[in-house]
Structure 1
Amino acid sequence: MLQAIGLTSARHRGLPPAVDDLTFEAEPGCVTALLGPTGSGKTSALRLMLELEPGRGITYFRGRPLHRVTHPAREVGVLLGDVPGHPARTARGQLRMLCAAAGVPASRADEVLHEVGLDGLGDQRIGTLSLGMDRRLALASALLGDPHTLILDEPADGLVAREADWMREMLRSHAARGGTVLFTTPDPKEAARTAGRVVTVEAGRLVSDQSVGDFSRTRLRPRVAVRSPHAARLASIVSREARASRRPVEVVTGASSSLISVYGSSCAEIGDVAFRHGLPVHLLADEVGDTCPPRPDPADASDPSTATTAFPGAGGDVDAEGATGGGSAEDGVPQREGRSAAVQAPPIRRRPARGPMRPVRYELRRLFGVRTTTMIIFATLVASAAVSVLLARDGRTPIPQVLAGWPSLLPLPPAALGAGLLGALSFGDEFRYPALAAGRGTVPRRLGLLLAKLAVSGGVALLLALLVVAVSAESLRLVYGGDLAGIPPNALSLVMSWACLSVGCAWAGLLAAGIFRVTAAGVAAVLAVPVLMVPLLQAVSKAPTTRSVNGLPGRLRELAWLRWPHEADGWLAAGVRVVAHPVGVALALSLSVLVCAYLFTSLRGRVRW
């Protein structure tokens, strides 16, 4: 059972809260509709229930608030808007990535694709899906963890009749298996067709909580829609004859002068009246009208029911005839009990979204689930090979620089730029297409997710650096033939420098994109190392000095209590030379600043609420 108690959203700039002391229940085995016009607080109520917005109140999911549920994806499935996935990702790839986020096996992706009828569209890209298929994929994402409760925000909005019928059947089947379903809608007829219970809200406050039978009896009435060029005369005749026969017939004029709605009559009776008086009729149809629809929108002039009674204010409820009253048990409207000033609902704090259950698996599927990664790697290899061939023509460029494809004109080699771009996309794409935090627009800065991104981006950078050297060497052998040079004496230092440069650029791009929440910031941070930091450090290093770090490995050996082998001195000396290089110093300083800034923004976001 889902129990929402005292939901009240925070006030903004003195405005009334979007949700004000809203309390209702959604029982298992039943579809519950949260009904209200646009701006009535339906979506805000859902976000309060899911702890996505600050406020007051509490929501129990089978007796536990959401922040105390160990695996939220296995308890609550959420559909807020469209699928927040990369448009180039396939439907199956998106679901497999979310499987790692929910901690369920990857085979669950194919199961939910079958459940929502997307078996043959698993390899189709999200950006090419129609609205109906996109909504099916969004429902599949909500069903990944096989949750007990489904919370959906206007799931049938914009769907054609066939897709809307399919959505209703899916919600009913989930409830029939013992699950709880809560969805929002502004359409009373949609609520009556889909739900077993209807909770009506207006201005963030509860108006009624009724079974669908009571709701249909008190809110929906059959009507006859009539369109005629003499609609006003026909309305007058129908009203006069109804008064003469003492029948409860109500005639409502629509926004169009040629359209009227007749309550309490039938198509046959209206047709007979028009025939007897020789009035032409262009439309005669049975419809279901709302006795108390939302306040009419001036821009909407198509619905003839806009002239009927509007929602009452927060001061009273609505009865079967549209009159306002205090609410009673007979008409299905619960009486509101006053809340003591001393007893307040507990605060709802905006809690950070949980990271993936399997962060490394999630990051690998996220990174290689789109063509962008392979395209960047391929472009980097082609550019490095071409630059290497050009640099080796004159024979004056050192062989390490040739293999790295790093001409003196470029601030960084193509491999470092590619690694930095891949690192920037690790967080940049997450903020553009936030699959982990649907409806929130941000990605949680959790330690496990950050470490996974650092590990995966660092590993891909090392792989890219190795492939660049191998492809460059093979290109040189193919173009010029033979071996151009042997192994240089400082190969260890060169390898460490190459690896550190690639990994450092990847991490700089990742951290900068995570701080500023945009890919361009990550790329700018990578370019800032050689363009800004290196000249600054070179200017500082020109100052006269009388000290040297020569012999540092030996002095560290004397200081350490654990004796390491003498071969390790070479590795340590190579590491010192790498760090002492201007690019190494600039990269180390940049990473240190970015790590501190990342931690600062993470802590500030955590203590905000």
Structure 2
Amino acid sequence: MLRVIQAFGLTSNPRKELPPALDDVSFEARAGRVTVLLGAPGAGKTTALRLILELQQGRGVTYFRGRPLHRIAHPSREVGILLGDVPGHPARTVRGHLRMLCAAAGVPVRRADEVLEVVGLVSLRDERLGTLSRGMDRRLGLACALLADPHTLVLDDPADGLSERESRWLHGMLRAHAAQGGTVLSTTSDPKEAARIADRVVTLDEGRLVADQEATDFARTRLRPRIAVRSPHAARLAALLTKEARTAQRSVEVVQEDGNRLSVYGSTCADVGETAFRHGILVHQLADEVGDMGPGAGDELMEAQEDGRSASKAREAVAIGAPHTPEAEPASSPVPRQPMERSPRGTEPTPDETLAEPAASNADDTASGNPRTELIPAVAERRPDADEAPSSAADGAQPSTAGQAQPPSTAGQAQRPFPAGQAQPPSTADQSQPSSDQDPQPAADTATLADAPVDRPRRPVEAPTRAGHPSRKNAHHLTSPRTLRPLPALPPPISVRPAPSPLRPLRYELRRATGISTGFVTVVVVLLVSALTALLLARMGHTSQSRLLAAWPVELPLPPAALGAGLLGALAFGDEFRHPALAADRGTVPRRLGLLTAKLLVTAFTALMLAFLTVGCDAEVLYLVYGRELTQVPADWLRLSASWIALVIGCAWAGVLAAGVFRSTTAGLAAVVAVPVVGVPLVQKAVESASVRAAAGFSVRLREVFLLQWPFGGERYLAAAVRVIAQPVGWALALLLTALLCAYLLSTLRSRVR
């Protein structure tokens, strides 16, 4: 069966002095099966899912059908995620939310209606998200996960807070997805629910993996049937049940819980009730239950079975005369006897003598046919390589004598005697090489400590000077020759990557902007305020024609249309961060250039329409109230129109960029207001006079430099554009847009570098 999810060494980053929430957890989930992560609250279930989905920093690696998640081109088409409530705008409809996500996932819009039928929300497709119950919201979340038709579903406690009916429906949906060949990975804290819905149960306890079982094995070892009894005479009834079970030689376990409650294992309600009736004991409750034995249930039984199988294999190997070398006893080969050296006192045995006697006794026991049960850790570490064992055994077959020649001792050869029962550093006779100032010795069963291979630096230990060996300056400390197995390599770190950009960003932004009534209400309010302001200015008089049509009093920093366009631009990114539908699992919408371009285009079109509608409505209202006198077109209408359109679109873009950089609608609107309040006074004196002089003959000088011949009216349009930019408001707005765009690009590049 295909292994769809393979997780290896999942480990979360510890916080301060606390242990990690998840420590070296590995498991797998197969296709066509429901795998459940079981554990109490705080056991690490959610952390495991977040590490699998690369939503949290840590260590480990997870493969989805052989590929890491960040290597999959379209993750939503491979993995459907449901980690909580749907983070949608409360005013958006169910169908509108799914249609918007269809554009983000790159699937046809009809897919929204299909998943609505699958999850049973067709009758609620026009309901607002803010009015849905928890059960309906969970159905919508499942519909969002199934929208791109993924192969794998990853859900974090999906039945939490649901009614029994909704839980059964949800479990049926997960089972149906698995029956079609999909993979389901879910979490729960209820062992009964895990046994009911899962094909395989992975149990976590305090961040560690304690069991990985099939559902049948889990139900047998973790869940045990029992009889729940409540009686005011619980102690007496427990004694009677135990006595009768002992007399009848039945395996009955009676556990007295808190108060007057008993849990009886291995019996029936009829037997317990009959015993209580015969002895006149009042019973308040007598019912069948399924008891939870805890996360470690069944471990002792499994270990005992494995130990029994290992012991039986050992006995069979000894009976047939085959050499038995299990992994736990690598000291089956005899150890060569080393030459003994006496200490100056003559009372302390040398390390060679300490190891030689147990080795000889083990060899005698093996030859006599008695099973050897004593383990020697020092000998076990002495033969780290398999190809050294035969040579060592051959050397050990020939007893060495005390009269063998030994190489002269050096400072690096000083040895410290070890007490009995302590691990002895191994000698590496077969790896030793004679030094340049000494004659090579033919004996192969003695070695110096200086020539012993060392895998990694060890802490130096003091070595006493023995008789006949002069001490040197470097003989006070030596490096232990104890060869240790190298530590396993740590799993690779997990990097949190931003959510992918919508596959169809322009279509997504159009559906997002038109899916709620906020934009339409804002436009209507702006038009009403502009019309009333224009009437008030016309009644007061002393207002230029251009400001009258734009409804821009001198006392206000910006006209209502510019403020409205800035608010719409700020909402374009502000709603994304407040209701992150694009990053429901991450909670933070990514800063992508494609998404920014789509938002700038949509807000520019909205601002352009708002600018035309404002001028048109103001002109109509002034014509109806005051006649044709106040609605005449100004002589320099081209320059004024360009300035007006540039102002409204610039304010809209400033709102978009500021909200995208600071992740707030308020920050976007504040940036728009800061243009005339802060920016204009700063650049007005420095730019105004010089810019006017420079703009006067700019088109003529440009034609002379590039030898261009402007088309009919080209100089006029270019001069109008230059005058628009040369205005203090234009300069301030251009500088603000440039700074915000650079900040947005820097934040995008920084997230990619991370």
What is the aligned partner in structure 2 of residue 67 from structure 1?
A: 70
Offset at residue 148 of structure 1 (A): 0.5
Offset at residue 323 of structure 1 (A): 6.9
Given the superposition, is the C-alpha separation of residues 571 and 166 from structure 1 closer, same or farther in structure 2, using an over 3 Å criterion?
same
Question: Residues 381-423 of structure 1, C-alpha deviation per residue, up to 9 Å, x if partnerless?
Answer: 1111111121122343222212212112221111111111111
Given the superposition, is the C-alpha separation of residues 481 and 319 from structure 1 closer, same or farther in structure 2, using an over 3 Å criterion?
same
> Pick from 584, 597, 602: which aligns with 1:451?
597
What is the aligned partner in structure 2 of residue 291 from structure 1?
A: 293
Offset at residue 547 of structure 1 (A): 5.7
1:175 and 2:174 aligned:
no
What is the aligned partner in structure 1 of residue 473 from structure 2?
A: none
Deviates more, 1:10-19 or 1:386-395: 10-19
What is the aligned partner in structure 1 of residue 146 from structure 2?
A: 143
Amino acid at match of 2:493: P
What is the aligned partner in structure 1 of residue 206 from structure 2?
A: 203
Structural mapping, 1:335-346, within 5 Å:
341=487, 343-346=489-492
What is the aligned partner in structure 2 of residue 161 from structure 1?
A: 164
1:127 and 2:130 aligned:
yes
Question: Residues 212-233 of structure 1, C-alpha deviation per residue, up to 9 Å, x if partnerless?
Answer: 0111011111122333444444
Offset at residue 597 of structure 1 (A): 1.8
What is the aligned partner in structure 2 of residue 90 from structure 1?
A: 93
Amino acid at match of 2:642: M
Q: Is the 8 A contact 2:252 2:267 kept in 1?
A: yes
User: Distance between the aligned counterparts of 1:286 and 1:562, measured in 2?
Assistant: 97
> Pick from 583, 596, 608: which aligns with 2:729?
583
Deviates more, 1:5-14 or 1:103-112: 5-14
What is the aligned partner in structure 2 of residue 369 from structure 1?
A: 515
Amino acid at match of 2:118: E
> Pick from 305, 309, 319: which aligns with 2:298?
319
Question: Residues 131-184 of structure 1, C-alpha deviation per residue, up to 9 Å, x if partnerless?
Answer: 100000000000000000000010111111000000100000000000011001
Offset at residue 492 of structure 1 (A): 1.1
User: Distance between the aligned counterparts of 1:400 and 1:493, measured in 2?
Assistant: 11
Given the superposition, is the C-alpha separation of residues 503 and 241 from structure 1 closer, same or farther in structure 2, using an over 3 Å criterion?
farther
Amino acid at match of 1:115: V
1:504 and 2:650 aligned:
yes
Given the superposition, is the C-alpha separation of residues 545 and 161 from structure 1 closer, same or farther in structure 2, using an over 3 Å criterion?
closer
User: Distance between the aligned counterparts of 1:131 and 1:562, measured in 2?
Assistant: 68
User: Distance between the aligned counterparts of 1:248 and 1:224, measured in 2?
Assistant: 14
Deviates more, 1:164-173 or 1:4-13: 4-13
What is the aligned partner in structure 2 of residue 385 from structure 1?
A: 531
1:516 and 2:662 aligned:
yes
Given the superposition, is the C-alpha separation of residues 508 and 230 from structure 1 closer, same or farther in structure 2, using an over 3 Å criterion?
farther
User: Distance between the aligned counterparts of 2:282 and 2:130, measured in 1?
Assistant: 49
Given the superposition, is the C-alpha separation of residues 487 and 61 from structure 1 closer, same or farther in structure 2, using an over 3 Å criterion?
same
Question: Residues 260-317 of structure 1, C-alpha deviation per residue, up to 9 Å, x if partnerless?
Answer: 3332222223333333344443333222111115xxxxxxxxxxxxxxxxx4xxxxxx
What is the aligned partner in structure 2 of residue 281 from structure 1?
A: 283
Q: Is the 8 A contact 2:85 2:141 kept in 1?
A: yes
What is the aligned partner in structure 1 of residue 318 from structure 2?
A: none
Q: Is the 8 A contact 2:561 2:614 kept in 1?
A: yes
1:594 and 2:740 aligned:
yes
User: Distance between the aligned counterparts of 2:197 and 2:692, measured in 1?
Assistant: 83
Deviates more, 1:519-528 or 1:50-59: 50-59
User: Distance between the aligned counterparts of 1:244 and 1:136, measured in 2?
Assistant: 56
What is the aligned partner in structure 2 of residue 464 from structure 1?
A: 610
User: Distance between the aligned counterparts of 1:545 and 1:37, measured in 2?
Assistant: 70
Offset at residue 501 of structure 1 (A): 1.1
What is the aligned partner in structure 2 of residue 402 from structure 1?
A: 548
1:442 and 2:585 aligned:
no
User: Distance between the aligned counterparts of 1:597 and 1:152, measured in 2?
Assistant: 36
User: Distance between the aligned counterparts of 1:185 and 1:205, measured in 2?
Assistant: 16
| Structure of greater relative contact order (alpha carbons < 8 Å, 6+ residues apart) | 1
Amino acid at match of 1:538: Q
Question: Residues 42-98 of structure 1, C-alpha deviation per residue, up to 9 Å, x if partnerless?
Answer: 111111111112222221111221112121111110001110111111111111111
What is the aligned partner in structure 2 of residue 268 from structure 1?
A: 270
What is the aligned partner in structure 2 of residue 603 from structure 1?
A: 749
1:485 and 2:631 aligned:
yes
What is the aligned partner in structure 1 of residue 420 from structure 2?
A: none
Offset at residue 504 of structure 1 (A): 1.1
1:415 and 2:394 aligned:
no
Amino acid at match of 1:282: H
User: Distance between the aligned counterparts of 1:545 and 1:460, measured in 2?
Assistant: 31
User: Distance between the aligned counterparts of 2:208 and 2:720, measured in 1?
Assistant: 69
Given the superposition, is the C-alpha separation of residues 259 and 596 from structure 1 closer, same or farther in structure 2, using an over 3 Å criterion?
same
Offset at residue 15 of structure 1 (A): 3.3
Amino acid at match of 1:291: M
Amino acid at match of 2:559: P
Amino acid at match of 2:286: L
Secondary structure in structure 1 of the residue aligned to 2:740: helix
Question: Residues 325-368 of structure 1, C-alpha deviation per residue, up to 9 Å, x if partnerless?
Answer: 5995999xxxxx99963534333221111010000111111112
Given the superposition, is the C-alpha separation of residues 484 and 602 from structure 1 closer, same or farther in structure 2, using an over 3 Å criterion?
same
What is the aligned partner in structure 2 of residue 303 from structure 1?
A: none
- Identity fraction in percent: 61
User: Distance between the aligned counterparts of 2:505 and 2:78, measured in 1?
Assistant: 20
What is the aligned partner in structure 1 of residue 359 from structure 2?
A: none
What is the aligned partner in structure 1 of residue 441 from structure 2?
A: none
User: Distance between the aligned counterparts of 1:252 and 1:386, measured in 2?
Assistant: 82
Structural mapping, 1:9-158, within 5 Å:
9-158=12-161
User: Distance between the aligned counterparts of 2:115 and 2:659, measured in 1?
Assistant: 33
Secondary structure in structure 1 of the residue aligned to 2:210: strand
User: Distance between the aligned counterparts of 2:485 and 2:511, measured in 1?
Assistant: 50
What is the aligned partner in structure 2 of residue 220 from structure 1?
A: 223
Secondary structure in structure 2 of the residue aligned to 1:549: helix
Structure 1's unaligned 5+ residue stretches are 294-310, 312-317, 332-336
Secondary structure in structure 2 of the residue aligned to 1:434: coil
User: Distance between the aligned counterparts of 2:713 and 2:592, measured in 1?
Assistant: 39
Given the superposition, is the C-alpha separation of residues 575 and 251 from structure 1 closer, same or farther in structure 2, using an over 3 Å criterion?
farther
Given the superposition, is the C-alpha separation of residues 260 and 339 from structure 1 closer, same or farther in structure 2, using an over 3 Å criterion?
farther
User: Distance between the aligned counterparts of 1:106 and 1:553, measured in 2?
Assistant: 50
Given the superposition, is the C-alpha separation of residues 21 and 482 from structure 1 closer, same or farther in structure 2, using an over 3 Å criterion?
same
Structure 2's unaligned 5+ residue stretches are 310-327, 329-483
Amino acid at match of 2:7: A
Amino acid at match of 2:716: G
Q: Is the 8 A contact 2:222 2:294 kept in 1?
A: yes
Question: Residues 429-454 of structure 1, C-alpha deviation per residue, up to 9 Å, x if partnerless?
Answer: 11111111113221111111111111
Whose radius of gyration is greater, 1 or 2? 2
Deviates more, 1:584-593 or 1:543-552: 543-552
TM-score calculated relative to the size of structure 1: 0.89
